[in-house]
Every structure is written in structure tokens, then in C-alpha cells.
């Protein structure tokens, strides 16, 4: 009796796992998008549409502020919406997700010894946990816990607000070249971006992609105004235009422009180019601190 050809693949558990992950990727609800027609009518917060969406507010819970979009903003928004429903775009997104899961899974296995070494260094050189789970804002403004190797002291979050005031960094992204909270091992990990490796788990879980906009905490996500909130229509990435373009050497405005260009003109080939540029950028440590 002839056996079903697909029976061969049932021996490998990773195959149905990959299929389920890719399927779940495309079951993401589009209704939570801030680009729905209702969101064009009223913006619930004076700090921008991103602020209310991140905080989970709706136009029914706060006094709306009417906002008139320029023609250029409308064109960018509609351009993205039209592309996102095109079969060619969706096919590339399917391939992107399949590649993300496969590459992240194989990557974790390949670098397992390195991960164990880093974990030991973090554990035995400073008090506190090995991993740090940072709350970030992802696709459709959904919060998620992003994993990193801990590179700071355990009370780093509590010191953040005070440091921002002391350094007078009240606008834009908060980043210090000589952050006193960073441990000695953390400085090396940050310079080589090794602290980001646990984010491969986020990629497998469907919270991030290998390539995409930079994942940011809630307070910094609220800084984005239309049309730059398009960055929240795609999954954030471990690497992206910001990382290969200069990282912390770039201004907030440059970050907005780079990520807008990436989202609007995205192709699978663009992701491949960014991945190829990532290793040289990491080794050069441009803007890494």
C-alpha cells in the first residue's frame, strides 16, 4: 500500500511548528490598526495618535481633538494600505515570516554555546537576573516583553527618569554615551550588540521579525506623529534601517525618515540587504552604546 508523501515530514516536529507560526502570523487582527477610517476622524490625544493607541485609550474615553491630514500624509497612508492587500506583498510577507522562524530557530541552536557563555558572564559579574524583559510596543500598538541579556544594574529603570532630567534629554529617544547604569560586561555586550541575541525568542514567538523598525518602550513610542505611526503597522525587528544607518548617532527625525522609507518601500530584497549590512555595522560599533 502506497504511503502518503506528507507522512515523511511528520517525523520532523519543526515542520508543523513552522506551518503553525506562519499561519498565526497572518491571523493578526487588522481591526486594531490606527489607520482605520475612524481614526482619521478624531485623534484622542494632543500628544499624537500614537499616544492614545499605546495607552489603550479609545475616542470614547477622552475628549477628541480633530486633526486635518495633509495630502502628502493621505498619500503615504493610502500607499501603504494599497500595498498591504496586494497578493505580491502578502506573498513576500509569508516568505518573510517563514524565513524568520526558520533562521531564528536554527540560529538559537547554532549559538547556544555562546548564549551560555554570555549568561555565565552576566550572572557572575553583577547581581541580578541574566535576562532583562523590557516592555516594548509592537505591531498594532500591542505591548510585548522583549528579551535582552541584562547589561545594567538591577534598578536601572528606577534611575531612568532622574538621568533624563539630569542630562536634559527631555525630547527624542533617551540614550547616554556613558550611561552610569551599564555594567563592565554590559559595555562589551552593547558594543557588539550581543545583548540583543535573546530576541530570537521574540521572533519565534511572533512578536518580532529579524528585520523591522526599532522596538521602543511606551514613552518613546508616544513621540511618533502621523504619518510616522506607520511603523506600528509592521513587526519590529532585531535589526533594521536604524541599526545599519548609525543607531544612536542618528537624530529622532532621521530615525523617523529611515523607518518611514523602509515601511513604505518594503520588499523581501530590502530585508536581505539590511541583514547583509548588519554584521559590518555591528563590528564597526557605529553608534552602539
Nearest residue to 202 (alpha-carbon basis) of 247, 142, 129: 142
pLDDT score for 18: 55
3-state secondary structure of 242: helix
- Alpha-helical (H) ranges within the chain are 14-25, 37-41, 49-55, 71-84, 87-110, 112-125, 156-166, 184-191, 199-204, 218-221, 241-245, 252-264, 268-284
Residue 85: phi and psi, rounded to 5, are: -100, 0
How far, CA to CA in Å, does 243 sit from each of 54, 84, 279? 23, 24, 10
Strands 209-211 and 237-239: parallel
What residues pair up with 143 in beta bridges, in sequence order? 137
CB 103 within 8 A of CB 272: no
Q: What is the pLDDT at residue 288?
A: 59
Residue of 91, 34, 79 lying closest to 59 (CA atoms):
34
Q: Contact, 45 vs 52, CB < 8 A?
A: yes
> At 147, is the secondary structure helix, strand, or coil?
strand
Q: Please work out, in degrees rounded to the nearest 5, the angle formed at the alpha carbon of residue 237 by the alpha carbons of 233 and 243.
A: 120
Residue 223 has φ and ψ, to the nearest 5°, of -75, -20
Residue-level pLDDT at 20: 61
Q: Where are the domains of the chain?
A: 42-284
Q: CA 259, 49, 199, 159: dihedral to nearest 10 degrees? A: 110
Cβ-Cβ contacts under 8 Å for 132 (sequence gap 6 or more): 147, 148, 149, 150, 151, 152
> If phi over 0 gives left and psi between -120 and 50 gives alpha, with beta otherwise, what is residue 139?
beta
Q: What Å distances lie between residue 133 and 38, 143, 231, CA to CA?
A: 34, 12, 22
pLDDT value of residue 177: 73
pLDDT confidence of residue 169: 52
The pLDDT value recorded for residue 5 is: 44
Neighbours of 198 (CB within 10 A): 21
> 237 burial class (0-12, 13-18, 19+ CB within 10 angstroms)?
buried
Report the pLDDT value the prediction gives residue 166, as an integer from 0 to 100. Answer: 67
Q: pLDDT of the chain along its 289 residues, tens only? A: 445 544 544 455 555 555 565 555 445 443 333 333 333 332 233 334 454 455 543 333 333 333 334 556 667 767 777 777 778 888 999 999 999 999 999 999 999 999 999 999 999 999 999 999 999 999 999 999 999 999 999 888 888 877 877 665 555 677 777 888 999 999 999 989 999 999 999 999 999 999 999 999 998 898 888 888 889 999 999 999 988 887 777 788 888 889 989 998 899 999 999 999 998 888 877 655 5
Our separate counts of H helices and E strands in the chain read: 13, 4
What does the CA dihedral 151, 157, 162, 166 come to, rounded to 10 degrees?
30
Amino acid at each position: 500500500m502506497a504511503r502518503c508523501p506528507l507522512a515523511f515530514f511528520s517525523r520532523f516536529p519543526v515542520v508543523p511548528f513552522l506551518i503553525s507560526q506562519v499561519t498565526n502570523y497572518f491571523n493578526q487582527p487588522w481591526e486594531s490598526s490606527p489607520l482605520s477610517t475612524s481614526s482619521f476622524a478624531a485623534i484622542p490625544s494632543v500628544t499624537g495618535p500614537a499616544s492614545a493607541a499605546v495607552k489603550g485609550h479609545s475616542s470614547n474615553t477622552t475628549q477628541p481633538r480633530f486633526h486635518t491630514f495633509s495630502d502628502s500624509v493621505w498619500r503615504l497612508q493610502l500607499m501603504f494600505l494599497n500595498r498591504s492587500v496586494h497578493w505580491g506583498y502578502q506573498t513576500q510577507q509569508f516568505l518573510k515570516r517563514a524565513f524568520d522562524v526558520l533562521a531564528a530557530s536554527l540560529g538559537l541552536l547554532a549559538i547556544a554555546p555562546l548564549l551560555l557563555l554570555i549568561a555565565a558572564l552576566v550572572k557572575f559579574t553583577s547581581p541580578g537576573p541574566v535576562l532583562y524583559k523590557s516592555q516594548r510596543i509592537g505591531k498594532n500598538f500591542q505591548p510585548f516583553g522583549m528579551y535582552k541579556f541584562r547589561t545594567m544594574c538591577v534598578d536601572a529603570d528606577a534611575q531612568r527618569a532622574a538621568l533624563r532630567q539630569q542630562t536634559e534629554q527631555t525630547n527624542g529617544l533617551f540614550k547616554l554615551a556613558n550611561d552610569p547604569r551599564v555594567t563592565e560586561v554590559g559595555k562589551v555586550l552593547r558594543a557588539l550588540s550581543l545583548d540583543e541575541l535573546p530576541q530570537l525568542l521574540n521572533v519565534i514567538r511572533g512578536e518580532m521579525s529579524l528585520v523591522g523598525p526599532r522596538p521602543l518602550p511606551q514613552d518613546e513610542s508616544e513621540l511618533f506623529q502621523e504619518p510616522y505611526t506607520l511603523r506600528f503597522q509592521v513587526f519590529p525587528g532585531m535589526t533594521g534601517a536604524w541599526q545599519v544607518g548609525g543607531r544612536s548617532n542618528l537624530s529622532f527625525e532621521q530615525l523617523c525618515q529611515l523607518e518611514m522609507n523602509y515601511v513604505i518601500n518594503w520588499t523581501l530584497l530590502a530585508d536581505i540587504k539590511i541583514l547583509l549590512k548588519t554584521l559590518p555595522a555591528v563590528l564597526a560599533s557605529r553608534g552602539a552604546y
